[in-house]
Amino acid sequence: MIATTDISADLKAIADKVKAGQRITDEEGLLLFEKGSLGFVGSLANEVRIRKNGDKVYFNRNFHIEPTNVCVFSCNFCAYSKIYAQREEGWEMSIEQMLHIVKKYDGKPITEVHIVGGVHPKMDLKFFADLLKAIKAHRPGLHIKAFTAVEYDYMFRKAKVSVEEGLKFLIEAGLDSIPGGGAEIFHPEIREKICADKVDGDGWLLIHETAHKLGLYSNATMLFGHVEKYEHRIDHMKRLRDLQDKTSGFNTFIPLKFRNKDNDMSNIAESSVVEDMRTYAISRIYLDNFPHLKAYWPMLGRQNAQLSLSFGVDDIDGTIDDTTKIYSMAGSEEQTPSMSTAELVTLIKQAKREPVERDTLYNEIRNYSSIDQNEIESNPLLN
C-alpha cells in the first residue's frame, strides 16, 4: 500500500502528468489501482487513446488454427489443454488437416492466420516449420502469426538450438510475427502458483526480445483477476514497458480476464466488469510506449468489448470465424466466437468510433466510418 496524506492531490498530480504526455511511475500506477475510480482512470485512458489513435478502432479478418490441446504442461488456470498421458478429450491435427483449414478461406479477404495450441511432444520444430512452409506455398500473402513463447521455449530446447537459431529457422519457413500468449503474470511468486512448470518470465521476455531483434513484431498479454495482486500487475507491465523502450517491437497489449470454468482454480471468483475496465484503463495509462491496447472480444463478450472502447481500448481483434476453442472451453462469454466484418463494424460504430480494418502490423486496409448502415448490412464482402 502507498502511504500518503493527500490521495486526491496525488491523483491530480498523476492526471496532470498523463495530460502532459509524461510517463507515470510504478508507484503512481499502483496508486491508480488502489485509489483511482473507474471514471477517473477511464477519462485519463481515453486521453491517451485519443492522443495515440484518435477515435479509430482496429480489427482484422483472421482465423485461428489450434494444432492440439494435448500439453506436457499443467497450468492451474487452463481448461483447454489435456495432459499428454490423459488424452480422451484431446485432439492432434496433421499438417494436411491444418492446411485444409487454410484452404477453406481461399478466395476470401482473410489477412491473418493465428496458430497457437498446447505443447505436444511429437510436434517439434521441424513439424511446425513444415506447416509454415505448406501454408506459404499455398497462400504466400497470408500473414502467419504463430506460437507462444511457451511453445517456442519447448520446441527450441527439444531441438537443442538457441532462441535465435530456432526463430531464424522458422522465419525462413514463413513465420511473420508472434502472438502474446503465455505471459500470464511474470512475477515468480505468482508463476509458481499458477504455471510453475513452463517458461518463466525472463525466458518469455528473452524470446520476444530476440524476435524483435530479428525484425519480428509481437504482442504481449497479461492474465489478470486470479491470485495476483495489483503490485504483480504493475511489475508485469513494467517489464514489458522496459523491453518496449529497448526494442519498440510490441504492437499491442492484451489484458486477458481469468475465467474459472473447468480448471484447478475454479474456486477463485472472477473479477467484476468494473475491475476489468479499470485494468484496461490503467494498462493504457501505464504502457505509454505501446501503440495499441486490445480487448479480445471472444473472452470478454461483445457487449463488454464494446464497453472497453470507453476505457482506452482501440482494438477488438478480428473475425475469428469460430476457429478458437481455447477461451470457449474456459467459460468465456462467447461460446461460438465468430463475427462478420459487418458485425464488427456495427459494434464499433455503435460506440461512436471509427471502424478501421487493419492487417496484422496495423497497416490500414479500409476505414468504414463513412459507410452507412444499409450498405454494411447488404454488402456481401462484409459478411
The mean per-residue pLDDT over the stretch 330-346 comes to 68
Query: For 131-145, what is each residue's pLDDT tens digit?
Result: 999 999 999 999 999
- Please give the helix or strand (H or E) that residue 11 lies within, else none: helix 7-19
What local confidence, expressed as pLDDT, does residue 112 receive? 96
Dihedrals phi, psi of 25, to nearest 5 degrees: -85, 170
- Using one digit for the tens of pLDDT, what is the confidence trace for 60-72? 999 999 998 877 6
As a whole number, mean pLDDT of residues 256-263 equals 74
- The verdict on pTM exceeding 0.85 is yes
CA nearest neighbour of 66 among 357, 349, 283, 324:
324
- pLDDT for the residue numbered 335: 46
For the chain, how far is it from start to end, CA to CA, in angstroms?
50
Band of the pLDDT at 85, cuts 50, 70, 90?
Answer: very low
Please choose, from the candidates 116, 113, 180, the residue with its C-alpha nearest in 3D space to the C-alpha of residue 140: 113
CA atoms of 159 and 166, how far apart (whole Å) = 8
Task: Walk me through the domains of the chain, giving residue ranges and CATH numbers.
Answer: 55-382 (3.20.20.70)
Round to whole Å and give the CA distance between 20 and 13.
Answer: 11
pLDDT digits (tens, 9 = 90+) for 162-186: 999 999 999 999 999 999 999 999 9
Q: Dump pLDDT digits (tens) for 287-307.
A: 999 999 999 888 888 899 999
Contact, 368 vs 355, CB < 8 A?
Answer: yes
pLDDT of residue 268: 76
Measure the CA–CA gap between 372 and 368, rounded to whole angstroms.
9
The pLDDT tens digits for 260-297 are: 666 556 677 788 999 999 999 999 999 999 999 999 88
Q: What is the pLDDT of residue 329?
A: 47
Mean pLDDT value across the chain: 88
DSSP string, 137-188: HH-TTSEEEE--HHHHHHHHHHHT--HHHHHHHHHHHT--EE--TT-S---H
